[in-house]
Structure 1
Amino acid sequence: MTSRDRLLGLTVVVLWGLNFLAIRAGLDHFPPFFFAALRFFVIAIPVVLFVPRPQVPLKWLLVYGLGFGVGQFAFLFWAMHVGMPTGLASLVLQSSAPFTVVLGAAALRERLRPAQVGGLLVAMAGMTVIGWDRAQHAALLPVALTLLAGLSWALGNIGNRKAASDQPMRLMLWMCVIPPLPMLALSLGVEGPSAGWDSLTSSLHGTGPLALAGLAYIVILGTVAGSGLWTALLSRYPAGMVAPFSLLVPIVGIGASWLVLHEEPSVLSLVGGAVVIAGAAATQVSAKVRPSALSHSPAPARVGV
């Protein structure tokens, strides 16, 4: 990988790490499910109008959209809404990597190598440490919800791989068309018919402008710019070479949350998080990758959180 492309990879890491601050800003004003619907709705409108639909089976596009878009962000935003620390959320969400390996073995009959099995066990140990630590603070539910977000992301990865599109950026953009209506229905059913509308009409006052700035960051920098750079890197290099960059995202997320939000994660949570990242990295250590398989490896095909 060239120095320029390494710099692009680190740029994506920074964009996605700061994305969690943008999410926090949005959730401080908007209800979580409505904010998730709004996040995808802003992207979906221009996509439907200007981007041709990728020629992939509809069922796999739906699996990708419902897993990555609906499941991941419903659980992640809910977790952060009920108390998941911003920096810790960026870390626990890395559970998607070992979850993807497990689902790949179960659904796609991919053979697990010894290094991957060892990585899975290490990652599970790290998540257990984090869960135990948070339980001491009566805050286990947010961790469980964030793990469900990671599992949903992994399910979306399976849909992405089964779609097997030769136009990954177009597939990613059309994935964003799936979540708005289910998320809006979830918001109406759980948050009530007026909660989202009230937050939208008051978005020019109080915490609203910062929330709108967070929404703009998520859409323009987190999704379009971050995902565009990530897709370009995956098109030029084996996924096993690119994917480890995503494991640096929690470092930016935790550091930014500490500097901006004054969150101070416990030592035990940081230790557990380091173990999770080490295990996730081990699951992505692969043998030689065939050129035809580069764009369909088990590494996360991220859209940016």
Structure 2
Amino acid sequence: MQASKEAIARGKKLNMLSLVVWSSIVPPLPMLLVTLILDKPATVLYALINLKALSVFSILYLALISTVIAYGIWGTLIAKYPAGKVAPLSILVPVIGLITAQIVLEEYLSVVQWLGAAIVILGLLISNFFGYLRNSKIDKN
């Protein structure tokens, strides 16, 4: 939020998507270096030559959808709202992952998984709306 305020003070708008894209360019280089240290170059070359369509799709999905778009949205929310309001939403990631796995991969979710998801959602509702309701009662008094 501070970076957003500074950008507004300069008469500009903070472009979080641009920040995410530029910061995503750096990690592949050290990761490639670590890969070459841990594996033989021939192994890396073999893996690259024998990439399957599903692997390419997975890489593109992880690079474009989950990284650029998701972190772009996350960054926009952090720039616009206080971190204390946005950060708790990150605990929805496993819940969304479970539900997506059930829909896309037709996985069976156990009662414990559904219970865990319900507890996470209930906790978010309580933490967000209980404080709001409590503060609105205080304001009335």
Q: Give the CA deviation at 1:254.
A: 0.6
Alignment of 1:251 onto 2:116: no
Instruction: Provide the rounded CA distance (Å) in 1 between the counterparts of 2:105 and 2:42.
Output: 29
Alignment of 1:222 onto 2:70: no
Aligned to 1:124: none
Aligned to 1:197: 45
Q: Give the CA deviation at 1:209.
A: 0.9
Q: CA 1:177 to 1:220, structure 2 compared with 1: closer, same or farther past 3 Å?
A: closer
The residue type equivalent to 1:198 in the other structure is Y
Instruction: Provide the rounded CA distance (Å) in 2 between the counterparts of 1:271 and 1:186.
Output: 40
SS in 2 for 1:196: helix
Instruction: Provide the rounded CA distance (Å) in 2 between the counterparts of 1:225 and 1:261.
Output: 22
The residue type equivalent to 1:222 in the other structure is S
Which structure is higher in RCO with an 8 Å CA cutoff and minimum separation 6? Answer: 1
The residue type equivalent to 2:92 in the other structure is L
Aligned to 2:11: none
As a proportion of its length, which structure holds more helix?
A: 2
What does residue range 14-163 of structure 1 map to in structure 2 within 5 Å?
none
The structure whose Rg is larger is: 2
Say whether the 8 Å CA contact 1:165–1:171 is kept in structure 2.
no
Aligned to 1:211: 55
Instruction: Please give the root-mean-square deviation of Cα atoms over the aligned residues, in Å.
Output: 3.3
Residues 272-301 of structure 1 deviation map (CA, whole Å, 9 limit, x = unaligned): 6766x47x95xx87x9xxxxxxxxxxxxxx
Counting aligned pairs with the same residue, the percent is: 33
Say whether the 8 Å CA contact 1:258–1:264 is kept in structure 2.
yes
Instruction: Provide the rounded CA distance (Å) in 1 between the counterparts of 2:71 and 2:19.
Output: 12
Normalised to the residue count of structure 2, the TM-score between the two structures is 0.59
Aligned to 1:182: 30
Instruction: Provide the rounded CA distance (Å) in 2 between the counterparts of 1:227 and 1:174.
Output: 12
The residue type equivalent to 2:24 in the other structure is C
User: How many matched pairs?
Assistant: 115
SS in 1 for 2:25: coil
What does residue range 293-304 of structure 1 map to in structure 2 within 5 Å?
none
Q: Give the CA deviation at 1:186.
A: 1.9
Q: CA 1:236 to 1:242, structure 2 compared with 1: closer, same or farther past 3 Å?
A: same
Pick one of 79, 82, 87 that aligns with 1:238. Answer: 82
